[in-house]
A and B are shown apart, each in its own frame.
Chain A
C-alpha cells in the first residue's frame, strides 16, 4: 500500500501529522490512548515518567512518544507486549517508591491490613490517600494490573509528614512520583516560579523556594499545580472529605470576581459546590484560575447570608424610635415578608414620585451581578419610575 505523505502508522491506522507534532500529539488527535503521567499540555515535554513509551518498527529501544516528533513513515505500536511489560515495571517502581496506600498497594490480605495500619500511623492521616479513585497512577496500575509493594514495610520516604500549614493545598511528598507536572504548571503555565525540582539523585524532590513551605515561598495559591498533579501528592484541603469525583455533578460557569471572566467547572454534590477547577480548553482562561476563582466559592454558604427581607422597625408608620447606631436611622431592621417589604417600597417610591417628581429617585446597579439584573434595574428606573438616575460603579 502506498503511504500518504506526512503520515505515520499507529497501531495499524494511518495518521496524518503536521510537521513538528509529536507522536503523542498525533495519537491524541486520533483518539488513540497513550498513557502519560508527566505530560502537561502547553508545556515543554520532559519525557520524565517514561510511561508514554511506544515501540517503533526498526528500532530496538522504546521511545518516549511525548518528546519524539512524528516523522514520515514511522510505524508505531502503543500497546505491544514489550511496551506493556516496560510500563508495568515503571508503575511498580512508582508504587513502591512512596506511600501509595490504596487498594493496589498489596496483594496479600494479611500484610495489607498491617501495611495500612503502619502507613496510617506514619503519615498522621486517618484516611486513605485522598486521591483514591481520582488518581492517574492508580488508574494505570489497574489498567496494567500492577500491584505495589508486597512486604508491608513502610520505606523511610513515607515517614515525612504532609505539609498542611496553609489553608488550601496539602503537599504530601510521600505520594509524589516526581513527574514534574506541578513544576511545569507553576513555571510555564502560571509563571509564578514558586516551586522547582530540588536536590539530586535519590534525594530529588519538589521544593518551594529554598525548600520552604508554600506559605513561606512565592506561592500565590493559584492551585494550578494541584489541578496538574496526577496523584495524591497535591490535594485541595477545602475539598477534602466533601465528595468523591464520581459523586459530583460538573457545572460550567463564569468566575464572579475580576473582569477576566474565567470559565470554571463547579464540582457540585447535593447542590453544594465542593470544589472548583478551570475548564480545560475553555476561552478565555484555558483551564487556568487564580486563588479567588479556585478557592473563593464558599461565601454563598456563609451563615451570615440575608435570608428574609428586612424592614426598619417603624419604616412606613413614622413612629420615632431611638437612633440605633449613629446612622441617623430610627429603629432596628426586622424580618418581614416579601409582600410587606415590596408593598412598602412600591408605596414609598410612588409617594416620592408624586410629591417630588421621578428625578427624586436614584439607583445604583451592581457591576458584580448578571447582565439580566442590571438590565432589569435600568428598565425599572426608566420605564416605571421615569427617571434616568441609574448608574453603577463603572468608575471604581
Chain B
C-alpha cells in the first residue's frame, strides 16, 4: 500500500507515478493526502483533502488512533525505536476530534485511515515539497517518520519514507557538500577531524571551522553588507525565491555579483560578471536521483561559443587565486576526489556506472550499492528515535482582507522558470501562460469565469493572471506555479522560513482575488 502526502506525483515526478499506478492496477492500495484533487486521486482508495498546513495535526491524529486502538507495531517499536513515551504523550493530545477540527478531515475518516494503514504491511509513504515547503517543514518530515516507525514500516522493501526530490540533482548537490555545514559525504565542517582530512586532500593549511550561511541569510547579508561578493551558479533566484520584490532589492544591493549560467535570465540582470556555462549534454558527469542512484551524464554536443564546463570555470578562478587543482575532467574529479573523500561513495567509479547507476551507500568497489536504507530497522545511529512534534499553523493564514490560501508548485509541461522548457519547441504550445487555479464554488461566488483575467494580490504584491476554474482545487484555495515571469506566484509568496532548514513557506500564504 502507498500513502502519498503533499506530492502531485503525476505532474512533478511523472515516471515515478507510472510505477505507482502500475502497482495500484495490480491491486495495491493508495491513500492520497493532499488539499487538491490531483490526478492520482482517481486511483486512490481514500483521498484526504486536508487543509493547507495541517499535516502534523492529521498525522498526530492518526497516531493517536493507532495507539489508543492498540494497532501499532509493538515489536518494531520495542526493538528499534526510542522515546515512544514522549511520542505517545504528544499524540494523546490529538484525539481524532481535535485533529479533525484543525485538518478539516472528519474524525471517522481519520479513524478509518489509521485502521487501513495498520491493516497492511508494508506501507510506503511518498512525499514531496508539499511537506517540506512549510514553516514547519522539518517537523512535517519527522511526523511522517514517526508514523512509519509506529507502523513498523521502516527498513523494508516497499516501505519507508520516500522523499521525491524536486530537481534532478538536489540529492547530488547535497551529497557534494554544497551546504553550509558539511563537506562532501555529509562530514561536518565543525568537526576537526573532517577538516583535517579535507585540508590534507585539498593541499591547504586549514579550512573554515564554523557553519556558513544558508540562502535566506545570504540574501539578508547582501542588504546589511555582511555579504559583499555573491556568486550564483545556475539558479534564477529572482524568480524562484519568495517575494520577488524583496529578492530583487536584495540582489540589487550586492556589491559584486557573479552569475554562471547557460542563458541570461532575470537574475543575471543584477550581475557584474556573467560566465557562459556548458549545458546538460555538453559535458560528461553524474547526477544522483531521488533514490540516491548515481548515473552518468554524457556529452552529445559541443558547447556553443566560448561556453565552458562549470567545473573548469571554478578551477580557473582557483588558479588565479594561487591554487593549482589537478583533476582535469569530471571523471578525474569523481574518481580521484569525490569517491575517495566521501565514504558512502567510495565504491562508485565511472567504470562501474557505464550502464545502470549505483545507489549509495556503496563503500567499496565490490559493494553492490544499497537500494533500501535502514534495512531491518537498523538505523544509522542505532535505534530510531521518535520525535514528538506539535502542529503549528502557517506563518500567514487567511483573514478578512486576504481570505484565500495560496499554494504553489510545478506543472507537468514546464520546469521551474522555463529557462530550459520555455526554449524547447512545442512545450510553450501545450502550456503558454500561468493560471490561477480556483474552485468552482469560489468562482461562482466572485462571479469569475473560466479563463477570465483576474487580479491575485497578497501583502507583498499582485499579479494579473488567467483564472482556471477547476474541481481539483478546494474552496478557499488558489493554486499557482512559478514557471512564468508574468503571473509568477513568487510576487505573492511569503518569505517566512522553517527555523531549522530555512525552507520558505511556498505552500501557504494569504491572498485575495478580484475581477479586473
Contacts and interface: CB of A to CB of B under 8 A. Distances in A.
B183 A382 contact: yes
A371 B287 contact: yes
B335 to A, nearest CB: 10
Contacts of A342: 313, 316-317, 320
A396 B503 CA distance: 7
Contact of A349 (B13, B22, B229, B429): B229
Given A238-B425, A308-B306, A362-B227, A390 B321 contact: no
Interface string B416-448: 000111111111011000000000000000000
A387 B208 contact: yes
Interface string B494-506: 0000000111101
Interface stretch (B51-59, B108-116, B266-274, B458-466): B266-274
Interface string B170-185: 1111111111110110
Interface string B108-135: 0000000000000000000001001100
Contacts of A393: 167, 170, 215, 235, 240
Interface string A352-375: 100010111111111111111111
B178 to A, nearest CB: 4
Contact of B176 (A191, A290, A297, A375): A375
Interface string A176-194: 0000000000001111000
A258 B307 contact: no
Nearest to B294: A371
Interface residues of A, number: 116
B258 A345 contact: yes
B304 A307 contact: yes
Interface stretch (B68-76, B80-88, B149-157, B248-256): B248-256
Contact of B281 (A300, A310, A338, A364): A300
Given A308-B276, A346-B320, A372-B334, A382 B207 contact: yes
B449 interface: no
Contacts of B287: 254, 256, 261, 370-371
B286 A370 contact: yes
Interface in A239-286: 251-263, 266, 268, 271-273, 282-285
Nearest to B232: A364
B289 interface: yes
Given A298-B424, A364-B233, A327 B323 contact: no
A189 B233 contact: no
A374 B306 contact: no
B289 A260 contact: yes
Nearest to B21: A191
B289 A389 contact: no
Given A190-B18, A311-B273, A396 B355 contact: no
Nearest to A311: B273
A138 B359 CA distance: 41
A395 interface: yes
B229 A167 contact: no
A117 interface: no
Contact of A367 (B173, B252, B297): B173
B385 interface: no
B413 A309 contact: no
A360 B269 contact: no
Contact of A261 (B293, B337, B503): B293
A352 B262 CA distance: 26
Interface string B1-44: 00000000000111110100110010000000000000000010
B302 A271 contact: yes
Interface in A186-237: 188-191, 215, 220-222, 237
Contact of B169 (A285, A343, A368): A368
A256 B283 CA distance: 13
B233 A291 contact: no
Contacts of B422: 299
A293 interface: yes
A356 B208 contact: no
A82 interface: no
Contact of B264 (A291, A306, A386): A306
B170 A367 contact: yes
A285 to B, nearest CB: 5
B276 A376 contact: no
B173 A392 contact: yes
A292 interface: yes
A379 interface: yes
B317 A238 contact: no
Contacts of A12: none
B215 A364 contact: yes
Contacts of B166: 258-259, 396
Given A307-B306, A338-B308, A391-B180, A368 B286 contact: no
A168 B427 CA distance: 9
B277 to A, nearest CB: 7
A377 B272 CA distance: 19
Contacts of B290: 259-261
B311 A376 contact: yes
Contacts of B300: 251, 253, 266, 268, 271-273
A168 B413 CA distance: 12
B370 interface: no
Contacts of A149: none
A310 B229 CA distance: 17
Contacts of B229: 348-349, 352, 360-362
A289 interface: yes
A150 interface: no
A328 interface: yes
B179 to A, nearest CB: 6
Contact of B269 (A166, A325, A380): A325
A331 to B, nearest CB: 9
Contacts of A363: 230-233
Contacts of B299: 251
A231 to B, nearest CB: 23
Interface string A319-330: 000000101110
Contacts of A346: 317, 320-321
A251 B299 CA distance: 8
Contacts of A156: none
Given A310-B274, A311-B272, A390-B180, A305 B356 contact: no
Nearest to A262: B15
A372 B171 CA distance: 13
B308 A329 contact: no
B333 A375 contact: yes
A216 to B, nearest CB: 12
A252 B415 contact: no
B411 to A, nearest CB: 11
A344 B421 contact: no
Interface in B171-220: 171-181, 183-184, 189, 198-199, 202-204, 207-208, 210-215, 218
A29 interface: no
Given A372-B286, A387-B208, A390-B180, A254 B272 contact: no
B226 interface: yes
Interface of A: 166-168, 188-191, 215, 220-222, 237-238, 251-263, 266, 268, 271-273, 282-285, 288-293, 295-302, 304-312, 315, 325, 327-329, 333, 336, 338, 341-346, 348-350, 352, 356, 358-396
23 contacts: A253-B300, A254-B297, A259-B164, A273-B300, A285-B15, A296-B421, A299-B419, A300-B301, A305-B305, A307-B307, A327-B252, A352-B229, A352-B255, A359-B213, A362-B230, A370-B285, A373-B311, A375-B333, A388-B211, A389-B213, A391-B212, A391-B218, A392-B235
Q: Which 8 pairs from chain A and chain B are nearest by CB?
A: A307-B305, A261-B289, A370-B285, A366-B234, A167-B426, A259-B165, A388-B212, A290-B14
Given A379-B318, A391-B215, 14 more contacts: A256-B168, A256-B281, A258-B14, A263-B356, A273-B301, A298-B424, A302-B423, A338-B316, A342-B320, A365-B176, A371-B172, A375-B176, A395-B502, A396-B129
